[in-house]
Amino acid sequence: MPGDSLNINNKGVKQNSFDAIVIGSGISGGWAAKELCDHGLKILVLERGRNVVHNKDYPTATKAPWEFKYRGDVSKQYLKENPLISKAAGFGDDTAHFFIKDKDHPYIQEKPFDWIRGYQVGGKSLTWGRACQRWSNFEFNGPARFGYGFDWPIRYEDVAPWYSHVEKFIGVCGTRDGIEAMPDGEFLPPFDFNCAEAKIREAITVNYKDRHLVHARWAHLTQPAEIHLQQGRSRCQARNKCMRGCPYGGYFSSVTSTLPWANKTGNLTVRPFSVVHSIIYDEQKKKAIGVRVIDANTKQSTDYFARIIFVNASALNSNLVLLNSTSNRFPNGLGNDSGLLGKFVAHHNYRASVNAEIEGMEDKYYYGRNPTEPILANYRNLHKQDTDYVGGFTTFMGAYRERGATKGLKEEIGAEFKYALTEPGMWHTYMYMQGETIPKESNHVRLSTDQKDQWGIPLLIMSVGYDENDEKMIKDFLTESAAMLDKAGCKNINQYDNHQAPGLDIHEMGGCRMGNDPKSSLLNKWNQLHHCQNVLVTDGACMTSTGNQSPSILYMALTARAANHAIEEMKKGNL
Ligand SMILES: Cc1cc2nc3c(=O)[nH]c(=O)nc-3n(C[C@H](O)[C@H](O)[C@H](O)COP(=O)(O)OP(=O)(O)OC[C@H]3O[C@@H](n4cnc5c(N)ncnc54)[C@H](O)[C@@H]3O)c2cc1C
Ligand code: SF4
């Protein structure tokens, strides 16, 4: 039972009551708070980490490289103490303040899994890569059409207006390309391709009718609209220091955008240092009535109450909270009649990349530090299955000039070397995959029965691995990408499989999937738990399959859609 062996400090139900509680203040939680506050509801956002205030809490945002003790690297001691989190993309001395420390937040790796977390107000929205492509119907209906997965209860058309709603508010740059596998949206102007990227695009267009190398869509304000100025944000300056926190609010985070917006309504309360232990289910009322919180510092327990609860703790933490929310009615976790909670966890496959050199164009350079990359929309298994595996992959790419024209010099010392460093080197290019993985019942998370964290919450056990389908996709990506670069005249093409463990992709999904049938899914088409409808799960935990596009904008769109549905249901007295 929740609360066993805890000291409860309830302080009176009224004082701790809100219309809605949102668990987590990151990308999806910020959206739940914004939508619900905009409709006049009193909202409590519970966040386990510290508070982060826009600008004030970006300690490295304007630092020059020489102002860091190790020029951006962390100390050997830090690396020794944090072997896991220091593997994260973009981790360094300039960004470490937005990542957890390993020893504070243990978990159990039954199979290798690098769990990358940022516990603070804003969550991972402060450090995310900002890629924002829409899903197409190929992704929504692919698993059922080709028989490799469970069907979604929604299609692209259900979520398209919510994508627009989100894009307009957060600001997404890109071009309208008319590609069936990557639908267009409401875009601000894109960053430019550089000359080498344009050359590769041309070669792909000439050689492959079905492959489209275009601007990816990124949550950057290339040309702020009125709604962005109202948020206090301004134009992106192309500094590419985003993960430190951006003083201009040039990219979207919940700290720059949704949370301050919600706060302006006067309806928002954010409570940092609040580790959600579980959701409280009332057997008589047959619904959830609140949330049990352990104060991160004092370890005191307090209950908060609300009519509806949004679970946005990030995919695997949301699974943890739900699994830990046990009662007589739900002994195996809230809403878990199907026994599938924590199962069918999946992620994106980022293992493979290619790189190459490009000769020529030595009189050409680029302006600024472009924080975006072009994208090659998925070209596999769209209308029919055309490979020996299922699912598809997106390809990100880029081209840049090497630092220093030092190639061919015998010694890395002396006047000649020093002079060479003042000139840009030759052009290089790279491509890397973001592949769909197939959710399987055996890929799961569950609670430890004998190990707990410092807040008395069971540790999460990760049991997630790759399979043969992933290996085949990697092979195909490497062969095809190398062939495209070869056709573009690139030299010294290398193919690379980094064999990284799941998790480092930072796109973990599933465990509490959506579906029409309560026997085989946890959530209905509005992200409500089938068996406890005033609890809505709208982060990556809800994902029925992974698709091949960066997922966070879909979490935002689903959250906004679910919040507006919940408001309608509350008005009707159904929630
Ligand atoms: C380096 C990097 C690059 C990325 N690039 C991209 C990209 O380009 N495109 C893309 O789509 N996605 C990208 N992602 C992934 C993206 O950040 C996540 O998908 C997104 O942040 C998930 O949103 P969320 O709201 O579910 O979780 P988060 O943003 O992580 O927020 C969850 C919040 O819940 C809090 N929390 C957790 N447990 C509890 C608890 N028990 N009680 C209270 N609070 C709790 C956490 O502290 C956190 O603040 C990237 C991530 C990283 C780190
Ligand atoms: S590139 Fe743009 S969003 Fe990123 S830090 Fe610079 S100004 Fe901010």
pLDDT, one tens digit per residue, over 207-251 is 999 999 999 999 999 999 999 999 999 999 998 999 999 999 999
Structure-block tokens of residue 1: 């039972």
Q: Indicate if ligand 2 lies below 6 Å from the C-beta of 89.
A: no
pLDDT tens, residue by residue, 486-523: 999 999 999 999 999 999 999 999 999 999 999 999 99
**Residue 427 burial (CB count, 10 A):** 23
Å from CA of 391 to ligand 1 middle: 24
Q: What is the pLDDT of residue 13?
A: 80
For 298-318, give one letter per residue: b (16+ CB within 10 A) or e: eeebbbbbbbbbbbbbbbbbb
How confident is the prediction for the chain on average, in pLDDT? 96
Q: What is the pLDDT of residue 1?
A: 40
Q: Indicate if ligand 2 lies below 6 Å from the C-beta of 235.
A: no
Residue 6 has pLDDT above 80, yes or no: no
Q: What is the pLDDT of residue 411?
A: 87
pLDDT tens, residue by residue, 317-359: 999 999 999 999 999 999 999 999 999 999 999 999 999 999 9
Q: What is the pLDDT of residue 2?
A: 40
CA atoms within 13 A on the CB side of 343: 14
Which residue, among 327, 261, 284, 316, has the nearest Cα to 3 in the 3D structure?
327
Å from CA of 512 to ligand 1 middle: 16
Å from CA of 28 to ligand 1 middle: 8
Å from CA of 405 to ligand 1 middle: 39
Residue 459 has pLDDT above 50, yes or no: yes
DSSP per-residue codes, 346-400: E-EE--EEEEEEE---TT---SS-----EEE---SSSSS--SSS-S-EEEEEEEE
Q: Indicate if ligand 2 lies below 6 Å from the C-beta of 241.
A: yes
Å from CA of 250 to ligand 2 middle: 5
Q: What is the pLDDT of residue 136?
A: 98
Å from CA of 124 to ligand 1 middle: 4
Which residue, among 328, 316, 331, has the nearest Cα to 459 in the 3D structure?
316
Q: What is the pLDDT of residue 366?
A: 85
Nearest CA, atom 4, ligand 2: 242
Residue 5 has pLDDT above 70, yes or no: no
Q: How confident is the model at residue 410 (pLDDT cuts 50, 70, 90)?
A: confident
Distance CA(374)–CA(198), nearest Å, equals: 10
Torsion angle, CA of 149/154/158/162, rounded to 10 degrees? -70
Mean of pLDDT values over 137-156 = 96
Q: How confident is the model at residue 10 (pLDDT cuts 50, 70, 90)?
A: low
Nearest CA, atom 16, ligand 1: 128
In ligand 1, the atom with minimum distance to the C-alpha of 24 is 34
Q: What is the pLDDT of residue 12?
A: 66
Lowest mean pLDDT among 12-21, 269-278, 526-535: 12-21
Å from CA of 507 to ligand 1 middle: 9
Q: Indicate if ligand 2 lies below 6 Å from the C-beta of 244.
A: no
Q: How confident is the model at residue 3 (pLDDT cuts 50, 70, 90)?
A: very low
Q: Indicate if ligand 2 lies below 6 Å from the C-beta of 61.
A: no
Torsion angle, CA of 99/100/103/109, rounded to 10 degrees? -90
Q: Indicate if ligand 2 lies below 6 Å from the C-beta of 246.
A: yes
Pocket around ligand 1: residues whose beta carbon is below 6 Å from it? 23-29, 46-49, 88-90, 116, 118-120, 123-125, 127-131, 274-276, 312-314, 317, 321, 506-507, 539-540, 550-552, 555
Q: How confident is the model at residue 15 (pLDDT cuts 50, 70, 90)?
A: confident
Tokens 């240092």 belong to 273
Q: Indicate if ligand 2 lies below 6 Å from the C-beta of 371.
A: yes
Nearest CA, atom 6, ligand 2: 239
Amino acid at 328: N
Cβ pair 499, 351 in contact under 8 A: yes
Å from CA of 116 to ligand 1 middle: 9
In three state form, how does the secondary structure of 237-260 look?
A: CCCCCHHHCCCCCCECCCCCCHHH
Q: What is the pLDDT of residue 11?
A: 57
3-state class (DSSP) for residue 463: strand
Which residue, among 483, 484, 48, 43, has the nearest Cα to 273 in the 3D structure?
48
Structure-block tokens of residue 266: 């006067």
Å from CA of 95 to ligand 2 middle: 14
3-state class (DSSP) for residue 289: strand
In ligand 2, the atom with minimum distance to the C-alpha of 238 is 1
Distance CA(569)–CA(575), nearest Å, equals: 6
Å from CA of 301 to ligand 2 middle: 40
Q: What are phi and psi of 536, to 5 degrees?
A: -120, 130
- Choose the residue to mutate in 55, 228, 237, 244 for probing ligand 2, maximizing ligand atoms within 8 Å of C-beta: 237
Q: Indicate if ligand 2 lies below 6 Å from the C-beta of 237.
A: yes
Q: How confident is the model at residue 4 (pLDDT cuts 50, 70, 90)?
A: very low
Cβ pair 42, 267 in contact under 8 A: yes
For the range 194-198, what are the long-range contacts, defined as Cβ-Cβ under 8 Å and sequence gap of 24 or more?
194/364, 194/366, 194/370, 194/399, 194/400, 195/361, 195/364, 195/366, 196/358, 196/361, 196/364, 196/399, 196/400, 196/427, 196/429, 197/374, 197/397, 197/398, 197/399, 197/429
- Choose the residue to mutate in 172, 251, 370 for probing ligand 2, maximizing ligand atoms within 8 Å of C-beta: 251
Which residue, among 301, 353, 365, 348, has the nearest Cα to 478 in the 3D structure?
353
Torsion angle, CA of 413/417/421/422, rounded to 10 degrees? 130
Structure-block tokens of residue 65: 């490289």
Å from CA of 552 to ligand 2 middle: 19
Mean of pLDDT values over 289-312 = 98
Nearest CA, atom 46, ligand 1: 119
